[in-house]
Amino acid sequence: MSGFNEVKPVRLAIVSPVHNRRELTLQCLRSLSRIDRTGIDITIYIVDDGSTDGTREAIEENFPDVRIVQGTGDLWYTAGTNLGVLAALKCKPDYILCINDDSVFDEKAIIRMIECAERHKRSVVGGLLLLWDTPHRVFQVAPVWRTWKGGWQHWREQTIWTVPKAPWEVDLIVGNCILFPAAVFEECGLLRPQVSPHYGDAEFTTRLKRSGWRLLIEPRARVFCQPNAEHVSITTLPVSKQIELLFRKRSSGMNVINQFRQSIHTAPNKLSGLAAFAAFYGNVARRKLFRSNGGPPEEGKLSDHFAGNVVRD
Protein backbone atom coordinates (compact mmCIF):
# COMPACT_ATOMS: atom_id res chain seq x y z
CA MET A 1 0.00 0.00 0.00
CA SER A 2 1.59 3.27 -1.10
CA GLY A 3 2.83 5.68 1.54
CA PHE A 4 2.71 3.20 4.45
CA ASN A 5 5.56 1.77 6.48
CA GLU A 6 4.60 -1.47 8.18
CA VAL A 7 7.66 -1.21 10.47
CA LYS A 8 6.25 2.08 11.80
CA PRO A 9 2.48 1.96 11.21
CA VAL A 10 0.26 5.00 10.96
CA ARG A 11 -1.29 5.66 14.35
CA LEU A 12 -5.04 6.24 13.95
CA ALA A 13 -7.57 7.12 16.65
CA ILE A 14 -11.26 6.66 15.81
CA VAL A 15 -13.69 8.78 17.84
CA SER A 16 -17.48 8.46 18.01
CA PRO A 17 -19.93 10.02 20.50
CA VAL A 18 -22.94 7.78 21.19
CA HIS A 19 -26.18 7.95 23.16
CA ASN A 20 -28.74 5.15 23.50
CA ARG A 21 -28.13 3.58 20.09
CA ARG A 22 -26.71 0.29 21.30
CA GLU A 23 -27.43 -1.83 18.22
CA LEU A 24 -26.22 0.82 15.79
CA THR A 25 -23.05 1.31 17.83
CA LEU A 26 -22.36 -2.44 17.89
CA GLN A 27 -23.00 -2.66 14.15
CA CYS A 28 -20.49 0.14 13.57
CA LEU A 29 -17.88 -1.58 15.74
CA ARG A 30 -18.42 -4.87 13.92
CA SER A 31 -17.85 -3.05 10.66
CA LEU A 32 -14.63 -1.51 11.97
CA SER A 33 -13.45 -4.95 13.10
CA ARG A 34 -13.55 -6.12 9.47
CA ILE A 35 -11.70 -3.26 7.76
CA ASP A 36 -8.27 -3.63 6.20
CA ARG A 37 -5.77 -2.49 8.87
CA THR A 38 -2.59 -3.06 6.89
CA GLY A 39 -0.01 -0.55 8.08
CA ILE A 40 -2.40 1.09 10.57
CA ASP A 41 -2.39 0.94 14.36
CA ILE A 42 -6.01 1.70 15.35
CA THR A 43 -7.41 2.70 18.73
CA ILE A 44 -11.17 3.28 19.02
CA TYR A 45 -12.66 5.76 21.50
CA ILE A 46 -16.40 5.65 22.15
CA VAL A 47 -17.81 8.59 24.10
CA ASP A 48 -20.81 7.12 25.92
CA ASP A 49 -22.87 10.20 26.67
CA GLY A 50 -25.12 8.88 29.41
CA SER A 51 -26.62 5.88 27.60
CA THR A 52 -29.21 3.94 29.59
CA ASP A 53 -29.79 1.11 27.08
CA GLY A 54 -26.75 -0.98 27.99
CA THR A 55 -24.46 0.47 25.32
CA ARG A 56 -21.40 0.61 27.58
CA GLU A 57 -21.87 -2.91 28.93
CA ALA A 58 -22.37 -4.36 25.43
CA ILE A 59 -19.20 -2.69 24.17
CA GLU A 60 -17.19 -3.94 27.14
CA GLU A 61 -18.47 -7.48 26.54
CA ASN A 62 -18.06 -7.64 22.78
CA PHE A 63 -15.21 -5.20 22.09
CA PRO A 64 -12.97 -5.12 25.18
CA ASP A 65 -10.19 -3.26 23.32
CA VAL A 66 -12.42 -0.24 22.69
CA ARG A 67 -11.72 2.64 25.05
CA ILE A 68 -14.88 4.09 26.56
CA VAL A 69 -14.93 7.75 27.58
CA GLN A 70 -17.78 8.59 29.92
CA GLY A 71 -19.89 11.62 29.06
CA THR A 72 -22.30 13.62 31.18
CA GLY A 73 -25.48 12.94 29.21
CA ASP A 74 -25.81 16.44 27.78
CA LEU A 75 -22.83 16.72 25.44
CA TRP A 76 -24.54 16.16 22.08
CA TYR A 77 -22.40 15.67 18.98
CA THR A 78 -20.01 18.61 19.23
CA ALA A 79 -18.92 18.44 22.87
CA GLY A 80 -18.99 14.64 22.76
CA THR A 81 -16.59 14.61 19.83
CA ASN A 82 -14.32 17.06 21.66
CA LEU A 83 -14.18 14.79 24.71
CA GLY A 84 -13.15 11.84 22.56
CA VAL A 85 -10.57 13.87 20.65
CA LEU A 86 -8.97 15.07 23.89
CA ALA A 87 -8.70 11.48 25.12
CA ALA A 88 -7.22 10.38 21.79
CA LEU A 89 -4.64 13.18 21.64
CA LYS A 90 -3.04 11.92 24.87
CA CYS A 91 -1.75 8.90 22.91
CA LYS A 92 -0.27 11.10 20.16
CA PRO A 93 -1.95 9.65 17.04
CA ASP A 94 -1.00 10.71 13.53
CA TYR A 95 -4.66 11.00 12.53
CA ILE A 96 -8.05 11.16 14.22
CA LEU A 97 -11.09 9.79 12.37
CA CYS A 98 -14.33 11.29 13.71
CA ILE A 99 -17.40 9.23 12.82
CA ASN A 100 -21.08 8.77 13.55
CA ASP A 101 -22.08 5.44 15.06
CA ASP A 102 -24.49 4.68 12.22
CA SER A 103 -21.59 4.20 9.80
CA VAL A 104 -20.73 0.96 7.98
CA PHE A 105 -17.36 0.95 6.27
CA ASP A 106 -16.17 -0.54 3.02
CA GLU A 107 -13.16 -2.75 3.78
CA LYS A 108 -10.72 -0.31 2.13
CA ALA A 109 -12.43 2.96 3.13
CA ILE A 110 -10.11 4.02 5.94
CA ILE A 111 -6.92 2.98 4.16
CA ARG A 112 -7.96 5.05 1.15
CA MET A 113 -8.70 8.10 3.30
CA ILE A 114 -5.27 7.87 4.92
CA GLU A 115 -3.58 7.37 1.55
CA CYS A 116 -5.34 10.51 0.30
CA ALA A 117 -4.21 12.53 3.33
CA GLU A 118 -0.65 11.24 2.98
CA ARG A 119 -0.52 12.26 -0.69
CA HIS A 120 -2.04 15.69 -0.14
CA LYS A 121 -0.46 17.38 2.85
CA ARG A 122 -2.46 19.81 5.01
CA SER A 123 -5.65 18.09 3.92
CA VAL A 124 -8.71 16.96 5.86
CA VAL A 125 -10.43 14.04 4.12
CA GLY A 126 -14.07 13.00 4.07
CA GLY A 127 -15.40 9.67 2.82
CA LEU A 128 -18.01 9.23 0.13
CA LEU A 129 -21.19 8.89 2.19
CA LEU A 130 -23.84 6.58 0.75
CA LEU A 131 -27.29 5.57 1.99
CA TRP A 132 -27.30 2.00 3.24
CA ASP A 133 -30.83 1.29 2.03
CA THR A 134 -30.05 2.59 -1.50
CA PRO A 135 -26.28 2.17 -1.55
CA HIS A 136 -25.70 3.83 -4.92
CA ARG A 137 -27.11 7.15 -3.67
CA VAL A 138 -24.80 9.84 -2.30
CA PHE A 139 -25.70 11.31 1.10
CA GLN A 140 -24.80 14.82 2.34
CA VAL A 141 -21.55 15.07 0.38
CA ALA A 142 -20.08 18.42 -0.73
CA PRO A 143 -22.87 20.85 0.23
CA VAL A 144 -22.72 24.23 -1.48
CA TRP A 145 -23.48 27.69 -0.09
CA ARG A 146 -26.49 29.50 -1.54
CA THR A 147 -27.20 32.71 0.37
CA TRP A 148 -30.73 33.35 -0.89
CA LYS A 149 -31.77 29.76 -0.35
CA GLY A 150 -30.87 30.03 3.31
CA GLY A 151 -27.25 28.82 3.48
CA TRP A 152 -25.81 25.36 2.90
CA GLN A 153 -27.68 23.25 0.36
CA HIS A 154 -27.39 19.47 0.02
CA TRP A 155 -27.50 17.56 -3.24
CA ARG A 156 -30.47 15.21 -3.54
CA GLU A 157 -30.04 13.21 -6.75
CA GLN A 158 -26.35 12.25 -6.86
CA THR A 159 -25.06 8.68 -7.17
CA ILE A 160 -21.74 6.86 -7.23
CA TRP A 161 -21.79 7.37 -11.01
CA THR A 162 -22.14 11.18 -10.91
CA VAL A 163 -19.26 12.11 -8.58
CA PRO A 164 -15.67 12.86 -9.62
CA LYS A 165 -13.45 9.79 -9.94
CA ALA A 166 -10.54 11.36 -8.04
CA PRO A 167 -10.43 13.36 -4.75
CA TRP A 168 -11.93 16.81 -5.05
CA GLU A 169 -11.85 19.94 -2.94
CA VAL A 170 -15.01 21.14 -1.17
CA ASP A 171 -16.02 24.00 1.14
CA LEU A 172 -17.48 21.90 3.98
CA ILE A 173 -17.36 18.25 5.07
CA VAL A 174 -20.31 16.72 6.91
CA GLY A 175 -19.22 15.02 10.12
CA ASN A 176 -20.39 11.45 9.51
CA CYS A 177 -16.82 10.44 8.65
CA ILE A 178 -13.88 12.88 8.61
CA LEU A 179 -10.16 12.11 8.83
CA PHE A 180 -8.16 14.86 10.55
CA PRO A 181 -4.40 14.99 10.84
CA ALA A 182 -3.77 15.35 14.59
CA ALA A 183 -1.93 18.60 13.84
CA VAL A 184 -5.30 20.17 13.01
CA PHE A 185 -6.27 20.23 16.68
CA GLU A 186 -2.92 21.56 17.81
CA GLU A 187 -3.11 24.39 15.28
CA CYS A 188 -6.83 25.26 15.25
CA GLY A 189 -8.24 23.94 18.54
CA LEU A 190 -11.44 21.94 18.97
CA LEU A 191 -15.01 22.09 17.73
CA ARG A 192 -17.13 24.87 19.24
CA PRO A 193 -20.28 23.66 21.03
CA GLN A 194 -21.17 27.26 21.87
CA VAL A 195 -21.73 27.82 18.14
CA SER A 196 -23.68 24.61 17.53
CA PRO A 197 -24.24 21.68 19.91
CA HIS A 198 -25.34 19.42 17.03
CA TYR A 199 -23.49 20.57 13.90
CA GLY A 200 -20.03 21.50 15.11
CA ASP A 201 -18.56 19.74 12.07
CA ALA A 202 -19.84 22.52 9.79
CA GLU A 203 -18.26 25.32 11.83
CA PHE A 204 -15.03 23.36 12.35
CA THR A 205 -14.37 22.32 8.76
CA THR A 206 -15.16 25.78 7.36
CA ARG A 207 -12.84 27.28 10.00
CA LEU A 208 -10.11 24.86 8.94
CA LYS A 209 -10.52 25.89 5.31
CA ARG A 210 -10.14 29.55 6.25
CA SER A 211 -6.97 28.56 8.13
CA GLY A 212 -5.38 27.08 5.02
CA TRP A 213 -6.34 23.40 5.31
CA ARG A 214 -7.75 21.75 2.21
CA LEU A 215 -11.04 19.86 2.52
CA LEU A 216 -11.12 16.82 0.24
CA ILE A 217 -13.61 14.06 -0.55
CA GLU A 218 -12.05 10.69 -1.42
CA PRO A 219 -14.61 8.98 -3.69
CA ARG A 220 -13.03 5.53 -3.30
CA ALA A 221 -13.60 5.62 0.49
CA ARG A 222 -17.19 4.43 0.68
CA VAL A 223 -19.09 4.73 3.96
CA PHE A 224 -22.70 3.62 4.26
CA CYS A 225 -24.98 5.63 6.53
CA GLN A 226 -28.45 5.40 8.00
CA PRO A 227 -30.92 7.66 6.16
CA ASN A 228 -32.08 10.69 8.11
CA ALA A 229 -35.48 10.47 9.73
CA GLU A 230 -38.22 11.87 7.54
CA HIS A 231 -38.25 15.64 7.87
CA VAL A 232 -41.25 17.17 9.59
CA SER A 233 -41.79 20.80 8.63
CA ILE A 234 -42.00 23.01 11.68
CA THR A 235 -44.90 24.84 10.06
CA THR A 236 -47.04 21.69 10.42
CA LEU A 237 -46.60 21.59 14.21
CA PRO A 238 -48.87 23.26 16.79
CA VAL A 239 -47.90 26.86 17.59
CA SER A 240 -46.88 25.94 21.15
CA LYS A 241 -44.48 23.30 19.80
CA GLN A 242 -43.08 25.73 17.25
CA ILE A 243 -42.34 28.26 20.00
CA GLU A 244 -40.66 25.58 22.12
CA LEU A 245 -38.39 24.38 19.30
CA LEU A 246 -37.57 27.84 17.97
CA PHE A 247 -37.00 29.76 21.19
CA ARG A 248 -37.18 27.78 24.44
CA LYS A 249 -35.33 24.52 23.78
CA ARG A 250 -31.65 25.42 23.37
CA SER A 251 -30.72 21.87 22.39
CA SER A 252 -33.15 21.95 19.45
CA GLY A 253 -31.60 21.87 15.99
CA MET A 254 -34.31 24.39 15.00
CA ASN A 255 -33.45 26.86 17.78
CA VAL A 256 -33.22 30.36 16.30
CA ILE A 257 -30.07 31.27 18.24
CA ASN A 258 -28.35 28.07 17.13
CA GLN A 259 -29.42 28.70 13.53
CA PHE A 260 -28.10 32.27 13.67
CA ARG A 261 -24.72 31.25 15.08
CA GLN A 262 -24.41 28.41 12.61
CA SER A 263 -25.18 30.67 9.69
CA ILE A 264 -22.80 33.44 10.77
CA HIS A 265 -19.89 31.13 11.60
CA THR A 266 -20.04 28.81 8.57
CA ALA A 267 -20.83 31.34 5.83
CA PRO A 268 -18.18 32.61 3.42
CA ASN A 269 -18.45 35.92 5.30
CA LYS A 270 -20.64 37.36 8.05
CA LEU A 271 -22.75 39.47 5.68
CA SER A 272 -23.62 36.35 3.65
CA GLY A 273 -24.41 34.53 6.89
CA LEU A 274 -26.76 37.27 8.05
CA ALA A 275 -28.52 37.38 4.69
CA ALA A 276 -28.85 33.58 4.59
CA PHE A 277 -30.33 33.53 8.10
CA ALA A 278 -33.00 36.03 7.03
CA ALA A 279 -33.60 34.15 3.78
CA PHE A 280 -34.03 30.84 5.60
CA TYR A 281 -36.90 32.10 7.75
CA GLY A 282 -38.29 34.13 4.87
CA ASN A 283 -38.51 30.93 2.83
CA VAL A 284 -40.21 29.14 5.75
CA ALA A 285 -42.81 31.93 5.93
CA ARG A 286 -43.32 31.84 2.17
CA ARG A 287 -43.93 28.09 2.16
CA LYS A 288 -46.43 28.43 4.99
CA LEU A 289 -48.22 31.35 3.34
CA PHE A 290 -48.44 29.83 -0.13
CA ARG A 291 -48.41 26.16 0.96
CA SER A 292 -45.78 25.34 -1.62
CA ASN A 293 -42.19 24.13 -1.54
CA GLY A 294 -41.61 24.76 -5.24
CA GLY A 295 -40.25 22.19 -7.64
CA PRO A 296 -36.87 20.54 -7.12
CA PRO A 297 -34.03 22.35 -8.93
CA GLU A 298 -32.03 20.71 -11.71
CA GLU A 299 -28.80 19.56 -10.11
CA GLY A 300 -26.55 18.34 -12.88
CA LYS A 301 -23.65 16.06 -11.96
CA LEU A 302 -21.18 16.61 -9.14
CA SER A 303 -18.45 15.55 -11.56
CA ASP A 304 -19.34 18.54 -13.75
CA HIS A 305 -19.93 20.99 -10.92
CA PHE A 306 -16.59 20.19 -9.24
CA ALA A 307 -14.54 19.48 -12.38
CA GLY A 308 -12.17 22.32 -11.55
CA ASN A 309 -11.76 21.15 -7.93
CA VAL A 310 -10.30 17.70 -8.62
CA VAL A 311 -6.80 17.41 -7.14
CA ARG A 312 -3.97 15.68 -8.93
CA ASP A 313 -1.24 13.53 -7.42
CA gap 13, 87 in Å, rounded:
10
Residue 295 placed within a domain: no
Same domain, 122 and 269: no
Same domain, 180 and 283: no
Each residue's pLDDT, cut to its tens digit, for the chain (313 residues) gives: 455 655 689 999 999 999 999 999 999 999 999 999 999 999 999 999 999 999 999 999 999 999 999 999 999 999 999 999 999 999 999 999 999 999 999 999 999 999 999 999 999 999 999 999 999 999 999 999 999 999 999 999 999 999 999 999 999 999 999 999 999 999 999 999 999 988 999 999 999 999 999 999 999 999 999 998 665 566 667 777 767 767 666 666 677 888 899 899 999 999 999 999 999 888 877 766 776 655 556 789 999 999 999 998 7
pLDDT of residue 1: 45
Same domain, 183 and 44: yes
Residue 88 placed within a domain: yes
pLDDT of residue 234: 64
Asked if 200 contacts 259 with a C-beta cutoff of 8 angstroms, the reply is no
pLDDT of residue 76: 92
Same domain, 240 and 215: no
Q: Which domain range does residue 283 map to?
A: 234-290
CA gap 198, 264 in Å, rounded:
16
How many structural domains is the chain composed of?
A: 2
pLDDT of residue 174: 96
pTM: 0.92
pLDDT of residue 188: 97
- The string of DSSP letters for 283-296 reads HHHHHHHHT---PP
From residue 136, give the alpha-carbon distance in Å to each of 144, 168, 222, 307: 21, 19, 10, 21
